[in-house]
Structure formats: C-alpha cells, structure tokens
C-alpha cells in the first residue's frame, strides 16, 4: 500500500500546480494593443510565459518606441482577470480575458493616468534576431551568485562566469548604465552584458555581472538610489570577486557602460584594490552637460529644426537652474511647474494638441527630474575622480554616440588622466558605432532595436586584449 499512498500524496501536492497551469494557459502567448495617449497612438505588446510551477511572467514591447523585452514585477491571474505590475515604469495593466481567449479588454495606468488598452492575441511572438547572443551549452562555468554591500546591508544577485582551467584568471565586474537594469543590461531587445561576459570568458577572463539593486533578484530599492549608491554596489562586487578562488587578485577591475563608466573611476579613486577600469562610453563632463548635449544631437539627427532645439535647450537650462538653486522638492516643484507650463504654452513649435498632452505629463516629468538620482547626476563632475584614478584605464567610445558624445567626453577624460599623471591609460575611438557600441547609420536611439548586432566585435576584442595584457 505504501507506493499507492505515496503516489496519492504526490498527486494531491501537484494538483494545485496542474490546475494553475491549466487556468493560466489561456493567457500564455503574445498580445498586442494600441494606447491612445492624446498626442499619439502607441502600440504596446505583452508577452506572457508560464514557468514550471504554472505561474505567469510578463515582458512588454513598445514597437513604436523601439523597445522590447521590458521587465515587469508581478503578474497575477484571478479567473479571467489579469493584473501586470511594472513598478519602475509606475505602470499597471488590468484586463479581462474575453470569450474565445483571443482578446483581453482592459486599462493601462501610468503616472496617475488611465488609458483603454484592449489586447489581441498574436499568431506568433515578435522574434528579434540577435546573432551574438550565446546559446548553451557554454564552454565555461556559469554560476548564480550573491554578494553583500555591507555599507547599505543590501544583498545583490548576479552571475559569475569562469573559464575552464586551473587559473588564476584576470577578472572584471560589469556595471550597467543609468536606469533600472538587470545583469544582462537588457534594453531595446539586446543583452550587451550577456554578450560581453560570454566573449571575455571564452578568452580566459572571469566576469561578474549583477542585477541593479531592487531589480531582478537583487534586494534593496532602486528608486531612491544615486550614482554614489551604485558605486558602493560595484565596489562590493569587486571586493567579493577578489576573494573567490582562481581569481588573479592583481588583475581584477571594473568595466562600466555609460553611467557605469562614471561609477568605475569613483570606485577606483578611493580603492587601491581596483587594478583597472574600462570606461565604455563613460562621461568626462558633468551630467548637465551630457543631458543638454545629447538632446541637441539626438534632436538634430532626428530631424528637429535648429530653432526648435534652441527653444528646448533654453527651457531645459531654466529647469535645471531652478533644480540646482532649490534642493527642497516641496519648494522647488511649484516654481518648476510654472517654468515648464510657461515654456510649453509659449512654444512656437508645438501645436495645441501636443501642448495639452505635455502639460498633462508635467507632474510625472517633474517627479523624474527632481528624483535623488537626477539631482545627483545633474551636478556630478567626473573630474575629481579621474584626477585620482591611478590604475590602468581603457576609455573607449563610438564616433556615432549621441548620448555620451565621443569627442567631448574622451578628450576630457584624456585631459584629466594626463593631469593625474596616469601613465597607464589608453583612449580608443571606434569608428561608426553608437552608444551601445553597435555599427549604425545615424546613432539615434530609435535604431538600437532595429540593429541585429549587439556589441561591435572590435570593441569586444579591445576589452579582452587590454585585460589580458595588463602588467601586474
């Protein structure tokens, strides 16, 4: 009787999972709908997949904004009803599956506003061709790991890839750019850090990549963190990595992309255990200079008129000046709202429909530009950190980078490292690649998802060559 009783227990234990999977199966698949946001109509896709326990997980696609695979936090099913939460987007979708299982009718709420969003099931999901993304089995060890930022008491989660062999191996921690990022730095349908870690590990270099605090499997809260908090996270990862077996403790450093390329010298300037840094489109000037420059460059390449761009620049400068003048948000917000609404109302280049839509978004925009991260980044100057960076440095960028303009930043980084008396640095411009290090046409962000290449091979080779030829 024991085998029968055992089978019965197992069957009863699995029954909730089986029923859950059956219920959720109606939702599994890719769905697409349109959001009417007043000034424009945007397509929004929802991809729903079930895990081994039958629970659903959602990612979002915004084809008109060239964004794919956007992460969400929680998907809840209750009968025919579905709720999808995306906290970092301050968004939520609530819908009801209709008879026939081919339509979900519901609403999309974001930034305090609610829009109708009815989804239709697609015949097949949108498949993006990403030829550089590695596929298992890998010719190296890949391990899920956790490490602690003791300063903030936050546990961070990531992946350590280790070459086969006896070691010791040079090693690098990858640090993401601005915004909530997972360990692969997933954005615009690409996974740059997955591609980088795979390439470097195949060359004999150990790589640690991790989810930003509050993202993926990492603990903590992302929303109130600044670049200095992220620097503490990166430093914790570096120190953890140096303690691992088979790691060459004299050749362990940080490679940061975009904001990560600012974070790397912050850590290196104060910690002599950083043996090298790689600045991938890292900044050499203040955050305000970066933001103003990229707005002009992207606007121009996207077809904006010089007059309209000048008008936008003047409004931005007024807003940033007011933010810097008043550190208290309760006092700053009324003045910022006044500046913003006057700027929109007096615009010579916006029609009435767009003016109305812009004013409706004022609150959410102002919340973003008064966040702790934005306030910090606006005034953060890399200069004092670069002047104290004495380790080996590789700073590289693409000539078509419009987000962190190549010449402006690499020339400034070169100047400060020279002033620091650093004899161990290399400045590298890679022709024809954008902010994500993809070969491109114009370099505008709308191209990112359309390009099949994730990371230029010559940039990958430059990284591995730099690390492998470091002198101890």
CATH number for the domain spanning 56: value is 2.40.128.20
Does 6 map to a domain? Answer: no
CB distance 252 to 188 below 8 Å = no
Joined together, the tokens standing for residue 184 give 């692969």
Cβ neighbours of 114 (radius 10 Å): 12
pLDDT of residue 365: 85
Categorise residue 358: left if φ over 0, alpha if ψ from -120 to 50, beta otherwise: alpha
Summarised one tens digit per residue, pLDDT across range 233-258 is 999 999 999 999 999 999 999 999 99
Does 130 map to a domain? Answer: no
Number of domain units in the chain = 3
In angstroms, the CA 288 to CA 300 distance is 18
Residues 370 and 433 in one domain: no
pLDDT of residue 472: 60
Residues 293 and 372 in one domain: yes
The residue among 326, 344, 378 that closes a domain is 378
pLDDT of residue 133: 93
Summarised one tens digit per residue, pLDDT across range 438-455 is 999 999 987 888 899 999
Does 90 map to a domain? Answer: yes
Does 129 map to a domain? Answer: no
Does 4 map to a domain? Answer: no
Residues 160 and 247 in one domain: yes
Residues 317 and 360 in one domain: yes
CATH number for the domain spanning 425: value is 3.40.50.1820
In angstroms, the CA 472 to CA 297 distance is 41
Residues 445 and 333 in one domain: no
Tokens 């729903």 -> residue: 48
Q: Residue 78 belongs to what H/E stretch?
A: strand 74-78
pLDDT of residue 15: 42
Does 126 map to a domain? Answer: no
The residue among 337, 355, 378 that closes a domain is 378
In angstroms, the CA 339 to CA 99 distance is 50
Residues 399 and 279 in one domain: yes
Residues 314 and 260 in one domain: no
DSSP code for 52: T
In angstroms, the CA 117 to CA 19 distance is 28
Residues 317 and 411 in one domain: no
Residues 110 and 169 in one domain: no
Residue 338 makes CB contacts below 8 A (sequence gap 6+) with: none
Residues 113 and 258 in one domain: no
Q: Tens of pLDDT along the chain (472 residues)? A: 333 333 334 444 444 443 444 556 778 889 999 887 655 678 889 998 877 666 788 888 887 776 778 888 888 888 888 999 988 778 899 999 888 778 999 999 887 788 899 999 988 767 778 999 999 999 999 999 999 999 999 999 999 999 999 989 999 999 999 988 999 998 878 999 999 999 999 999 999 999 999 998 999 999 899 999 999 999 999 999 999 999 999 999 999 999 999 999 999 999 999 999 999 999 999 999 999 999 999 999 988 899 999 999 999 999 999 999 999 999 999 999 999 999 999 999 888 877 887 887 788 789 889 999 999 999 999 999 999 999 999 999 999 999 999 999 999 999 999 999 999 999 999 999 999 999 999 999 878 888 999 999 999 999 999 999 997 6
Residues 399 and 367 in one domain: no
Does 38 map to a domain? Answer: yes
Does 18 map to a domain? Answer: no
In angstroms, the CA 126 to CA 270 distance is 46
Cβ neighbours of 263 (radius 10 Å): 30
Closest CA to 259 of 148, 455, 404: 404
Here the contacts of 218-225 (C-beta below 8 Å, separation 24 or greater) are 218/154, 218/155, 218/156, 218/157, 218/158, 219/154, 219/155, 219/156, 219/157, 220/149, 220/152, 220/154, 220/155, 220/156, 222/88, 222/180, 223/88, 223/371, 224/371, 224/372, 225/372, 225/373
The residue among 378, 411, 444 that closes a domain is 378
Residues 78 and 163 in one domain: no
Residue-number span of the structural domain to which 347 is assigned: 288-378
Sheet of strand 276-280, all strands in order from the earlier edge strand to the far edge: 140-149, 154-163, 206-210, 169-175, 247-257, 276-280, 392-398, 425-430
Joined together, the tokens standing for residue 419 give 């002033």
Strands (DSSP E) along 98-168, which ranges?
103-110, 113-121, 140-149, 154-163
CB distance 434 to 66 below 8 Å = no
């Amino acid at each position: 009787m024991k085998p029968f009783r055992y089978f019965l227990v197992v069957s009863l234990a699995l029954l909730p999972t089986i029923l859950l999977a059956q219920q959720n199966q109606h939702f599994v698949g890719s769905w697409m709908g349109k959001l009417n946001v007043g000034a424009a109509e945007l397509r929004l896709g929802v991809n729903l997949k079930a895990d081994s326990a039958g629970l659903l997980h959602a990612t979002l696609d915004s084809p008109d904004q060239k964004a794919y695979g956007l992460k969400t936090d929680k998907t809840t099913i209750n009968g025919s009803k579905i709720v999808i939460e995306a906290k970092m987007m301050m968004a939520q979708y609530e819908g009801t599956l209709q008879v026939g299982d081919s339509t979900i009718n519901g609403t999309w709420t974001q930034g305090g506003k609610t829009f109708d969003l009815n989804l239709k099931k697609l015949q097949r999901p949108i498949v993006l061709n990403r030829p550089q993304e590695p596929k298992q089995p890998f010719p190296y060890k890949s391990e899920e790991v956790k490490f602690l930022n003791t300063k903030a008491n936050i546990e961070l989660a990531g992946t350590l890839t280790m070459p086969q062999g006896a070691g010791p191996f040079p090693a690098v921690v990858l640090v993401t750019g601005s915004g909530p990022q997972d360990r692969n730095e997933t954005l615009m349908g690409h996974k740059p850090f997955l591609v980088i870690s795979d390439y470097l590990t195949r060359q004999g270099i150990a790589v640690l990549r991790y989810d930003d605090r509050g993202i993926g499997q990492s603990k903590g809260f992302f929303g109130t963190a600044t670049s200095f908090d992220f620097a503490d996270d990166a430093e914790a990862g570096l120190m953890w990595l140096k303690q691992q077996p088979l790691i060459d403790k004299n050749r362990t450093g940080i490679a940061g992309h975009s904001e990560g390329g600012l974070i790397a010298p912050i850590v290196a300037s104060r910690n002599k255990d950083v043996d090298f840094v790689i600045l991938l489109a890292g900044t050499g000037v203040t955050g305000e200079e970066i933001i103003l420059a990229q707005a002009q460059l992207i606007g121009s390449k996207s077809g904006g008129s010089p007059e309209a761009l000048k008008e936008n620049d003047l409004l931005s400068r007024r807003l940033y000046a007011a933010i810097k003048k008043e550190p208290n948000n309760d006092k700053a917000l009324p003045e910022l709202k006044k500046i913003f609404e006057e700027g929109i109302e007096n615009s010579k280049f916006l029609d009435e429909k767009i003016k109305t839509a812009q004013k409706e978004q004022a609150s959410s925009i102002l919340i973003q530009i008064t966040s702790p991260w934005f306030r910090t980044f606006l005034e953060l100057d890399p200069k004092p950190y670069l002047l104290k960076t004495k380790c080996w440095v590789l700073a590289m960028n693409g000539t078509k980078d419009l987000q962190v303009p190549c010449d402006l930043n690499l020339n400034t980084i070169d100047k400060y490292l020279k002033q620091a008396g650093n004899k161990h640095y290399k400045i590298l411009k890679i022709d024809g690649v954008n902010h994500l290090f993809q070969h491109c046409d114009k370099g505008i962000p709308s191209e990112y998802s359309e390009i099949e290449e994730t990371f230029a091979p010559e940039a990958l080779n430059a990284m591995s060559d730099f690390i492998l030829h470091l002198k101890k």
